[in-house]
Structure 1
Amino acid sequence: MSILFIIIIVVAVVLAITGGLVESLNFLLWVGLVLLVLAAIAWLIRSMSGRNRV
């Protein structure tokens, strides 16, 4: 997995946790979930395409 995907996943998890703990920042939960889904889709496409560039 590339460094970019790892950074996206970490940011998504942090935003999801922050959004879950602070009700006034509830939109961060959705931002975190969307980023997590996008990172997962990008990783799946990359792994299914057979390209293993580092």
Structure 2
Amino acid sequence: MATGQSAEYTNRQSVIKQYLIKGYVINQQIKLDRYNELKDVVRLRRIQYLHF
């Protein structure tokens, strides 16, 4: 590869790496959000059950 092609390849690899990292972080945040929603539902159900 020529120097310009090598730099372009390196840049593309860096961009792909950042997309993967961001995707992982977003996926983890979605999982955390869903987990917290589930905890809220369980907590509310428990409160409803105890009051009836």
TM-score computed with the length of structure 2 as normaliser = 0.50
Between the two structures, name the one with larger relative contact order (CA 8 Å, sep ≥ 6).
1
Q: Which has the higher helix share?
A: 2
Q: Highest Rg: 1 or 2?
A: 2
TM-score computed with the length of structure 1 as normaliser = 0.48
